[in-house]
């Protein structure tokens, strides 16, 4: 794990590996899938989601991390299985109202929540489909690809599933299908608008067996009414047939108003919008596959 | 136009862009040939050079030097 305090000019690595599985787990770190600084109420707390699927918590600004053992030892864990990219804990959402409330998502185990700072965890997948399982509505085992939190209502979450786009209005107690109107409800990425409630972005993919943009068109879809309707955004994006798949962490927003929206794809292209997604410009091309993008205001 | 830091993690390194006065400039790759699956930009700290003062329109924190966290990996998968 490296960090930079000078916009990437220099990098510092802790003397000891920051994220390391304790010996009793008999596991070793394959990959850090997610890094998530907690909210401003906990300025020294940073979370890391890993493969094998586990949550680590740092209380010293990311210098060292400790395994969140109750999730690692969750009674359902023996039935978690790797998704196509591995068994990764890829989503970490902290709650701006309560630093003890954390939501995570795992491929393939689904959404899990704690309300007590990580001491206990419960699945939160009611209503999220698992079309690849004999029981299409299990308590856990869903292949959730990404979850994001609404800017105005902390109880409202948006979820891009392995088939299906869902919304929860109760912090994950239950989920409602909001995929109607999309060209495909398969996809990987999801990002909420930083300020505007009921507004989120996804990038539909044709199918799990055909991982290219839906209709072979490079389009971000935006909802401005919490998933009741969806609007394709393509002004400034390539207009011909397009094959650039957007992965789960390769779509993000910044905190500006209007919001900056960014995505990269497996063609090595990066696009940006400075007006909530209404219009776009291509920033980069011919990069290696883009795996993740993150943006922030600087001044 | 607001100045922005954009980090792009790829299968073969990290690219960093900055938009100042509306113009983008990128450098990289950092961590050449290493897969960058996870990045975090930490704008929470109210340290010298990093201000949490509200911007005029958004109230969003702005840092001149936010902390960027990355975790390079060496075993990229073909799927994700």
ipTM of the complex: 0.96
Region of A234 please: left (phi>0), alpha (psi -120 to 50) or beta.
alpha
Give the pLDDT score at B64: 58
* Residue B24 scores a pLDDT above 90: yes
pLDDT band at B62 (very low <50, low <70, confident <90, very high): low
What's the whole-number average pLDDT of chain B? 74
Q: Which residues contact A297 (CB under 8 A, 6 or more apart)?
A: A254, A255, A256, B2, B3, B4, B5, B43, B55, B60, B61, B62, B63
pLDDT band at B45 (very low <50, low <70, confident <90, very high): low
Q: Give the helix/strand (H/E) hosting A137.
A: none
Averaged over B24-48, what is the pLDDT?
85
* Residue B72 scores a pLDDT above 80: no
Residue with the bigger pLDDT between B29 and A299: it is B29
Low-confidence ranges of chain A (pLDDT < 50): none
Q: Is A196 near chain B, with CB under 8 Å?
A: no
Could you count the other beta carbons within 10 Å of the beta carbon of residue B52? Answer: 15
Interface-testing mutation among B22, B69, B72, B75, with chain A (most A C-beta atoms within 10 A): B69
Give the pLDDT score at A170: 98
Give the pLDDT score at B55: 29
Q: What is the largest CA-CA distance in chain B?
A: 44
Q: Write out chain A residues lying below 8 Å of B63, CB-based.
A: 296-299
Please, which residues bridge with residue A213 across strands?
Answer: A205
Q: Write out chain B residues lying below 8 Å of A40, CB-based.
A: 44, 52, 61
Residue with the bigger pLDDT between A168 and B66: it is A168
- Burial (Cβ within 10 Å: 0-12, 13-18, ≥19) of residue A286: exposed
* Residue B59 scores a pLDDT above 70: no
* Residue B43 scores a pLDDT above 50: yes
Contact B3 A247 (CB under 8 A): no
35-64 of A, contacting B, C-beta below 8 A: 35-37, 39-40, 43, 46, 48-49, 61-62
Cβ atoms of A59 and A70 closer than 8 Å: no
For the CA atoms of A118, A292, A174, A172, the dihedral, rounded to the nearest 10 degrees, stands at: 30
């Amino acid at each position: 794990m490296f960090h930079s305090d000078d916009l990437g000019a220099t990098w510092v690595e802790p003397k000891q590996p920051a994220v390391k599985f304790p010996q009793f787990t008999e596991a070793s770190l394959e990959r850090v899938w997610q890094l998530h600084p907690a909210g401003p109420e906990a300025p020294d707390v940073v979370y890391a989601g890993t493969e094998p699927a586990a949550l680590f918590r740092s209380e010293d600004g990311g210098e060292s991390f400790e395994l969140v053992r109750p999730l690692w030892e969750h009674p359902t864990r023996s039935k978690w299985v790797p998704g196509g990219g591995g068994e990764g804990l890829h989503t970490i959402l902290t709650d701006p109202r309560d630093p003890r409330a954390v939501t995570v998502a795992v491929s393939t185990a689904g959404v899990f929540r704690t309300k007590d700072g990580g001491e206990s965890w419960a699945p939160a997948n009611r209503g999220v489909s698992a079309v690849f399982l004999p029981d299409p509505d299990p308590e856990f085992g869903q292949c959730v690809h990404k979850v994001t939190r609404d800017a105005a209502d902390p109880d409202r979450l948006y979820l891009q599933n392995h088939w299906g786009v869902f919304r929860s209005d109760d912090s994950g107690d239950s989920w409602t299908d909001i995929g109607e109107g999309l060209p495909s409800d398969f996809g990987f990425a999801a990002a909420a608008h930083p300020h505007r409630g009921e507004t989120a972005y996804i990038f539909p993919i044709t199918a799990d067996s055909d991982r290219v943009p839906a209709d072979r068109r490079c389009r971000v879809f935006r909802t401005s009414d919490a998933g009741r309707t969806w609007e394709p955004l393509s002004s400034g994006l390539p207009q011909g047939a397009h094959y650039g798949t957007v992965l789960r962490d390769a779509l993000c927003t910044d905190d500006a108003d209007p919001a900056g929206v960014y995505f990269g794809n497996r063609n090595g292209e990066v696009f940006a919008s400075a007006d909530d997604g209404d219009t776009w410009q291509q920033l980069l091309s011919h990069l290696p596959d883009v795996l993740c993008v993150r943006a922030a205001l600087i001044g | 136009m607001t100045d922005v830091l954009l980090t792009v993690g790829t299968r073969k390194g990290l690219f960093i862009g900055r938009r100042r006065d509306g113009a983008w400039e990128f450098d990289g790759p950092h961590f050449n040939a290493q897969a960058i699956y996870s990045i975090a930009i930490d704008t929470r700290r109210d340290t010298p050079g990093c201000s949490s003062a509200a911007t005029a329109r958004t109230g969003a924190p702005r840092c001149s030097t936010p902390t960027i966290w990355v975790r390079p990996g060496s075993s990229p998968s073909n799927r994700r």
